[in-house]
Structure 1
Amino acid sequence: MPAAEFARSLRARDQLVGYWIALDAPAATERIARVGYDYLVVDVQHGLIGHVGMLNALMAIDAAGGAQGLVRVAANEPSGIGHALDAGAAGVIVPLVDTAEDAAAAVEATRYPPRGRRSYGPMRSGLRIGPRPADADESTVVIAMIETPQGLANVREICATPGLDAVYVGPADLCLAVGGAHPGDPAVAAEFESAVDEIQRAAAEAGIAAGFHVSDGEAAPPRLAQGYTFASVSCDLVHLEAIAAHHLTAARR
């Protein structure tokens, strides 16, 4: 779907399913983008992708048609957010948002004056969203990750931030935030699920979307049924290793 339609769908809290890209492999990214996902997230924070790799991944997603390309930026700062958007991202996922002030700063970096402080340099993005800043603002989504103790404590204030389109759960860091010794620590399963419920309720009360990162496709429907409105499935690197191991086991059997 076009960027503007994707933005409207996400803001309307329609159910969307995406995929996570960690590898700098544009040809593979293009193939995945043709599968039918609503969006692909290019991970610049923890993925093995630099600026040129991010640009190539976004071009590959656009070449495939259909899916929109989002970028998880490395940090909540205007330069990296601007680079991602100028490279053609339909939106950004911003990590480590602790307060409503952090969320407001992320929104400001994605919006042109007078709504924000995004610098005008459309480059690739201008090829598909037009030269008017207001059009770009309406076609660009900004999503805040809730993954720290501070972010969890302030989740309602974060969700109420004007211009914020969604919040997003990174389960590994959220597990650590509620006291887990490691991601997926069963000792804090109850605390983790309580936090997950709280984030979903806060987003619903504010009328914004809520996303969840899931380990595989089977894990997505329960989170969507819980009230999360979009889910991103695992990542290319994890699946490449898993399918290679599966075929090795089959071959040796």
Structure 2
Amino acid sequence: MTTASSAALARKLRARETVIGYWSALDVPVATERIARLGYDYVCLDGQHGYLGYSGLLGSLQAIDAAGGAVGLVRVEVNDITPIGRALDAGAGGVIVPLVDTAADAAAAVASVRYPPVGRRSFASNRSGLSPADANVANVVVAMIETASGLSEVDAICATPGLDGVYVGPSDLSLAVGGAFPLDPAVSSEFEAAVVRVREAARRAGIAAGIHTPNGTTAARRLAEGFTVASVASDLAHLEQIAHAHLEVARG
């Protein structure tokens, strides 16, 4: 990650400009490097539900940097200063933090990303080479809204000083509004209302509104609705889908 590329993504995100990313769950740096060359603004490595250990995160962040252009982000495993700091030390341009239920949770995430005097991140030698002052500007922190508590507190979360954006986790949010399974069509109305609630809370607060999407068509629709950040699918999902499609064609 270069100071310029990370800072440029931070500026776009904070200005509520359109930002499109890709989601990576697999520990395959060569494939991640190829994806990072395609023109996405960022590639997010899934440290929560993906199949990457710390060495995998480090290797994939190096691969993203080698590709040039895209910025590597990490969805950390938990809202805790240690995995957040380690992701940033490995070269991530920012973090997406899961299961943020309250403004206090959001404030803790912000403090874990920022160096003193505005936060409590501890300093160590890191891949980015950013000074504390530059890192405080260039590194972004985004809170996931995916629980009933997070939804009920979304306005207060969005108002948290230093928070750069919120991000809808559709699978968990659909469960939070009563779905029997992720994206249960029986609660589609309740889910869409929740999505609008998050999007509009972010708009009122002047921060980025992000959402995970299964494909480019859905990403384009969500951006047209007013979201400013959209992640597309994941490498694992696309690998399975394209392999299945080719098998069906081959079988005639």
- TM tier relative to shorter chain: over 0.9
Aligned to 1:234: 233
Q: 2:89 aligns with which of 86, 90, 98?
A: 86
Alignment of structure 1 residues 182-221 onto 2, 5 Å: 182-221=181-220
Cross-structure match for 1:114? 117
Which residue does 1:139 correspond to in 2?
138
Is 1:124 matched with 2:127? yes
Matching residue within 55, 61, 64 for 2:64: 61
Q: What is the alpha-carbon root mean square deviation over aligned residues?
A: 0.7
Moved over 4 A (4+): none
Query: Which amino acid in the other structure matches residue 174 of structure 1?
Result: L
Give TM-score, length-normalised by structure 2: 0.98
Q: CA deviation at 1:238?
A: 0.5
C-alpha distance in structure 2 between counterparts of 1:170 and 1:98, whole Å: 13
SS where residue 83 of structure 2 aligns?
helix
Q: Match of 1:2, SS?
A: helix
Identity rate of aligned residues, in percent? 63
- Write out aligned runs for 1:173-184 (5 A): 173-184=172-183
User: How far, CA to CA, are the matches of 2:117 and 2:19 in structure 1?
Assistant: 30
Aligned to 2:5: 2
Give 1:122 deviation, angstroms: 3.5
1:52 aligns with 2:52: no
Deviations 1:5-48 (A, max 9, x none): 11001000000110000000000000010111110000000000
1:118 corresponds to which letter in structure 2? Answer: R
Task: Please say if 1:154 is aligned against 2:157.
Answer: no
Evaluate the alpha carbon distance shift between residue 6 and residue 122 of structure 1 in structure 2; reply closer, same or farther with a 3 A threshold: farther
| Runs of at least 5 residues in structure 1 that lack an aligned partner in the other structure | none
**Which residue matches 1:39?**
42
Q: TM-score, normalised by structure 1?
A: 0.97
Equivalent position SS for 1:196:
helix
Structure 2 match to 1:18: 21
CA distance in 2: counterparts of 1:81 and 1:122, whole angstroms: 15
Distance 1:12 1:37 in 2: 18
Kindly provide the CA deviation profile for residues 49-84 of structure 1, in whole angstroms up to 9, marking residues without a partner as x.
Answer: 000000001000000000000000000000000000
1:72 equivalenced with 2:71 (yes/no):
no
Return the alpha-carbon distance in structure 2 between the equivalents of residues 232 and 133 of structure 1: 28
In structure 2, C-alpha distance between the alignment counterparts of 1:177 and 1:194, rounded to whole Å? 12
Q: CA deviation at 1:252?
A: 1.0
Cα deviations across residues 142-177 of structure 1 (Å, max 9, x unaligned)? 000000000000000000000000000010000000
Structure-2 separation of matches of 1:218 and 1:194 = 20
Counterpart residue identity of residue 111, structure 2: E
**Equivalent of 2:106 in 103, 121, 146:** 103
Q: CA–CA distance in 1 between the matches of 2:147 and 2:163?
A: 18
Whether 1:163 aligns to 2:162 is yes
The aligned residue for residue 247 of structure 2 is 248
